[in-house]
Amino acid sequence: MSDTTFYGSDYAALEAFDPDIAGVLQSELTRIRSGLQLIASENLSSPAVLTALGSTLSNKYAEGYPGRRYYGGCAEVDKAEQIAIDRAKELFGAEHANVQPHSGASANQAVYGAFCRPGDTVLAMSLPHGGHLTHGAKVSFSGKWFDVAHYGVDKETEDIDYDQVRDLARERRPKVILAGGSAIPRLIDFRAFREIADEVGAIFWVDAAHFIGLVAGKAIPSPVPYADVVTFTTHKVLRGPRSGALVCKEEHAAKLDKAVFPMMQGGPQMHTIAAKAVNFKECMSADYQQYAKDVIANAQRLTEGLAGHGLRPTTGGTDTHLALLDLQPVGVTGADAELRCDAAGIVLNKNAIPFDPQKANIASGIRVGTPCVTTQGMGLAEMDTIAELIHRAVTRTDGDREHPVAREVRAAVDELVTRFPAYPR
């Protein structure tokens, strides 16, 4: 192996040494470029972010925090982490930031570790109504270790039932009240949650994984002024590396830092932390702020288009980057819709809707999001086209790639992604 073989993101060297893995990298790039990426929790990180991820910072073990490491040789990675911390605080107007969590789930685990003991009561949103696995689902550590009371949505509005939140809080007296989830199309009333938490003496935690990029882009209100702690991922609308972070009030800083390390995880991934720093700088730009606004405008236009084709948006629409569509009016399950769209070059996911009569692995709905297509430069006119293509794929195909309508839709998708390519050459 020559000295020039492994210097960061050197694809030619990788291709020569390991054509099997190099082929996977290339075929994944081809997959991204050849379809419409509409999964709400995905985005396309910039080349600058990917460069930091593929850097020599991956080599360094750095347990601890800047200036307080358990290993020598950390002077340079200390700089990277401090830059990421300072930028996160500036970007979100936060008193304290921890950029070490490996994922959103890791950041969430740290919050439980900081404020709860096994068996303590937590109030969170039900997974079938839009919450997340780490918010007390029985198959998650959170549901196994804690007594989680779940609130849901109002049956008429399909939005969060704040009266139910207040009633449950008064009845159960939780240690922590958690807002946020993975399929909530509407804005969350953080002030209302703060008032409820104060009334019962609970910590108010916001899991902003899905919408934190819209906050960074100043396109929706921020939870930071209201919450004791805000956890998030960095790879959704935020458009950074696949990882996590948290920001909090200064009074909770030491407790949360200790919960991240050494309680919850060991050595941080310094290359990923550097990539987060790059991403936070990107998010401070005027271009990013416009991007965040465009993501919402595109989501609203796409939702309106789908509604016009008979796919019913829960809550009647969206204020964010995603929409949840009820397919019962068109007589198709979420699982079938996902399969049919995939065969037609459209990538989205089945998703349970509130009060869903189907099992979760079948579901009555689909979830669509606009972060990726907006990154590619698509706008309102393209959203109209995409709505029509989704409708045709869902209602007029059968999951066979060779179905005539699937081939027609795929050809239209090819035309779109050729005009708006992912990672232009």
Query: Is 112 one of the catalytic residues?
Result: no
112 contact partners, CB below 8 Å, separation of at least 6: 122, 142, 145, 146, 176
Residue 319 to residue 421: CA distance in whole angstroms: 27
Query: Is 61 one of the catalytic residues?
Result: yes
Catalytic residue among 10, 15, 42, 63: 63
Q: Token pair 């919050």 is at which residue?
A: 111
Q: Which residues pair with 290 in a beta bridge?
A: none
210 contact partners, CB below 8 Å, separation of at least 6: 40, 41, 180, 181, 182, 184, 236, 237, 320, 321, 322
Q: What string of DSSP letters covers 208-266?
A: -TTTHHHHHTTSS--STTT-SEEEEESSSTT---S-EEEEE-GGGHHHHHHIIIIII-S
Question: For the chain, how many residues are written?
Answer: 425
Query: Is 154 one of the catalytic residues?
Result: no
265 contact partners, CB below 8 Å, separation of at least 6: 100, 101, 102, 106
Asked if 173 and 145 count as a contact pair (C-beta separation under 8 A), the reply is no
Q: Alpha carbon of 277 to those of 35, 86, 195, 274, 371: distances in Å?
A: 30, 9, 33, 5, 20
Residue 148 to residue 124: CA distance in whole angstroms: 7
Catalytic residue among 186, 194, 236, 392: 236
Catalytic residue among 33, 166, 172, 242: 242
Question: 362 — phi, psi (to 5°)?
Answer: -110, -60
Query: Is 288 one of the catalytic residues?
Result: no
Asked if 337 and 329 count as a contact pair (C-beta separation under 8 A), the reply is no
DSSP H helix total and E strand total for the chain: 16, 15
Q: Which residues pair with 207 in a beta bridge?
A: 231
Phi-psi region of 203 (alpha: psi -120 to 50; beta: other; left: phi over 0): beta
Catalytic residue among 10, 15, 42, 61: 61
Query: Is 281 one of the catalytic residues?
Result: no
Catalytic residue among 161, 207, 257, 294: 207
* DSSP 3-state of 351: strand
Asked if 266 and 242 count as a contact pair (C-beta separation under 8 A), the reply is no
User: Among candidates 242, 287, 254, which has minimal Cα distance to 43?
Assistant: 242
Two tokens, residue 115: 């404020």
Query: Is 63 one of the catalytic residues?
Result: yes
Two tokens, residue 96: 């304290």
What are the residue numbers of the active site?
Answer: 61, 63, 207, 233, 236, 242
